[in-house]
Structure 1
Amino acid sequence: MSHLTAVANKNVLDQQFLNDVLNGLTQQQKSLPCKYFYDDRGAALFEQITGVSEYYVTRTELSILDKYSHAIAQLLPQDISIIEPGCGSGKKVAYLLAHLVNVKTFVPFEISKEMLNYSLAHLSPLFPKLVISPLLGDFTHSQMVKQLAKKSALVDQTNLVYFPGSTLGNFAPVQAIEILQNFHRLCGINGYVLIGIDLVKDRQVLLNAYDDKAGVTASFNKNMLLRINKELNGTFELDNFTHQSRFNEQQSRIEMHLVSNCTQRIFINNVEVNFKQGESIHTENSHKYTLTAFELLAKQANLKLEHTWCDDNDYFALCLLRPC
């Protein structure tokens, strides 16, 4: 990607950030899109979350990869390219790369430049012959995905879109379908999508996973406000908000909120936003699926579920999808 293209993409992302924040905070139930957690500091905080004892997701998924990577690799063709939207550290894709033969290219696709650099630094020494082609952008933005996929010629080859970590569950069903449609586009000709989903389980296990005793998740949640202060001239006082996790039975999802401790007003780019005491900003959803519910969701993006791999406790699943 050229320097001018990267700058243009960044400008689009900055304006979209401001629009999304102002739109979300002027709704009756204030909200912020979870994709904006992941500035450089937020991405680093999330890496810390994956190591806390209460957060079972990462270690469970890694155990599935450790056990089944060879079986997954046998189902995929040689000379495939791997695209990982929201690649993070690249820790999980390393398990697959170790078992796949003749991977053509690895494409980390990130909204955070620091995480792109981090994954590059982590994976290059492990796979010195691997061609790594970083892509800076927003995988939830359909028009951006279309443009980037076309410019990089990803649509003209066979790809595996790898989306671990149950990130799809952060999005409402309509948005999740749109993201899966983006992955359908990115997988190219006769491609594949390998995606991690968090399964329905005991409520307390879920609540603890999103409100760890060390307070790392609380710092991660509040970092969204810090980012608004830095990038959008916001005036949030972080101590005036408390992190809270809730389970929504009807929607089968964990919700993260930032609850205002007092009546207050803040400004974002000179726009005033008022809070009542006890009013919350809804910052994240994490939907929990049954395999049947996920299969129906994928079908709406014209993807069919071909294989599933789970841990012994049925906490988590890796699902292999193909275009219908």
Structure 2
Amino acid sequence: MSQLTAIKQCNITDTEFLTDVLSGLAQQQKTLPCKYFYDDKGAALFEQITSLKEYYVTRTELAILEDYSKAIANMLPENLSIIEPGCGSGKKVAYLLAHMSNVNTFVPFEISSEMLNYSLAHLSPLFPELSISPLLGDFTHSQMVKQLTKDTSLDSQTNLVYFPGSTLGNFAPVKAIEIMNNFHRLCGVNGYVLIGIDLVKERQVLLDAYNDKAGITAAFNKNLLQRINNELNGTFDLDNFSHESRFNEQHSRIEMHLVSKCDQSVVINNQRVDFIKGESIHTENSHKYTLESFKQLAGQANLNLERTWQDDSNYFALCLLRPQ
């Protein structure tokens, strides 16, 4: 039977959520941090997105894992722990665990307690001898990561930080470097970092992946407004906003926006925010990399690109990094 240690918690406060929301909506280009997509409903909607025909990312990455998990495992030492920030369902890490012997511990690291429980329920029957030690917290928050690694002694052992799904691309380069610095800390002594990245490709393929015909991505985007209504006494009318995906050539990224359909005002915790018709809230970026641009980015976090594995269409890559 799996050993399930108590979930260690380091929660985001409502005050931090409110501060981030009001600060973002006060900018000339209104923004909201994408990390707040993932309340329990948002996490469930994203799981639906990963199965959509238009969303090539998940099935392409899973195909790479099917083809190369054994090769990846052969490059890693035995007796290490695997840490997965933003673990979701745990579906992808199962491919690695199936090919790795003597993994000490699996540490799912999630901002959503529901997704932590979901990953535990999925992985425990598959790997009954595996010790699973969940962490509830925000892997993008450097002080939180520093405190958690100290409290759990993760920084004193050898770990593989596994970050699939192209999530790194959701962050601006400066923040992506900070996150990879967090992973540098999490990987511990002589550790490894395995990151999935989405590669530059045909524009329409990208646009369709973030604006599916079934409207699941639109519901995922709008759920952020619903979360503000639920948790911060917001008054957003979701029908007054439309979902839009755009490709920003200059920054090589897909952008998701929520566009106001009319002039309107919204109240959040007794503070009013005004919108004019056509004004947007920029909710998410998804940067698309070349291998060379990613190598340079990782280098700024003092991580060396050791090896990559790609699909035949060069849509996606898994990249193995090591501290310099």
Q: Do they superpose with TM above 0.5?
A: yes
For residues 156 and 317 of structure 1, do their structure 2 counterparts lie closer, same or farther at Cα, with a shift above 3 Å needed? same
Q: CA RMSD in A?
A: 1.0
SS of residue matched to 2:87:
coil
Segments of structure 2 that go 5 or more residues without pairing to the other structure are: none
Q: Contact 2:112–2:136 (CA<8 Å) still a contact in 1? A: yes
- Residue 29 (str. 1) matches residue 29 (str. 2): yes
User: 2:97 & 2:18 partners in 1: Cα distance?
Assistant: 37
* Residues 61-117 of structure 1: per-residue CA shift (max 9 Å, x gap): 000000000000000010110000000000000000000011100000000000000
CA–CA separation in structure 1 for the residues paired with 2:149 and 2:229: 33
In structure 2, the partner of 1:53 is 53
Following the alignment from structure 1 to structure 2, what is the Cα–Cα distance between the partners of residues 16 and 189? 32
Aligned to 1:115: 115
2:99 alignment partner, SS class: coil
The alpha carbon displacement at 1:14 in A equals 2.4
Query: Which residue of 1 is the match for residue 92 of structure 2?
Result: 92
Q: TM-score, normalising length from structure 2?
A: 0.97
- Looking at structure 2, the residues matched to 272 and 129 of structure 1 have their Cα atoms a distance apart, in angstroms, of 53
Give the aligned partner of residue 290 of structure 1. Answer: 290
* Matching residue's letter, 1:257: H
Q: 1:17-40: per-residue Cα shift (whole Å, max 9, x none)?
A: 111101000000000010100000
Instruction: Determine the structure 2 residue equivalent to 1:156.
Output: 156
String of CA shifts for 1:193-230, please: whole Å, max 9, x gaps.
Answer: 00000000000000000000000000000000000000
Counting only pairs closer than 5 Å after superposition, residues 1-324 of structure 1 correspond to structure 2 as 6=9, 9-10=10-11, 12-324=12-324
Alpha-carbon contact 2:48-2:216 (below 8 Å) kept: yes
Query: AA paired with 2:245?
Result: S
SS at match of 2:243: strand
Between the aligned partners of 2:300 and 2:74, the Cα distance in structure 1 is 27
Q: Secondary structure at the match of 1:217?
A: helix
Task: Give CA deviations for 1:224-278 in whole Å, capped at 9, x if unaligned.
Answer: 0000000111110000000000000000000000000010000111111000000
Offset of 1:16 from its aligned partner? 1.5
Rounded to whole Å, the distance in 2 between the matches of 1:311 and 1:13 is: 40
Conservation of the 8 A alpha-carbon contact between 2:6 and 2:133: no
Tell me if structure 1 keeps the 8 A contact 2:34–2:170. yes
> Cα offset for 1:2?
7.2
The residue type paired with residue 174 of structure 2 is V
The 3 A distance-change label for structure 1 pair 2 and 103 is closer
> Could you tell me how far apart the structure 1 residues matched to 2:31 and 2:203 are?
23
Distance in 1, matches of 2:189 and 2:13, equals 29
After TM superposition, give the deviation of residue 134 of structure 1 in Å.
0.4
- CA drift of 1:13 comes to 3.2
Distance 1:13 1:146 in 2: 18
After the TM superposition, which segments of 4 or more aligned residues of structure 1 sit over 3 Å from their partners?
A: none
Residue pair 2:210, 2:245 contacting (<8 A) in 1 also: yes
Contact 2:158 2:188 in 1 (8 A): yes
How many angstroms apart in 1 are the aligned matches of 2:129 and 2:245? 44
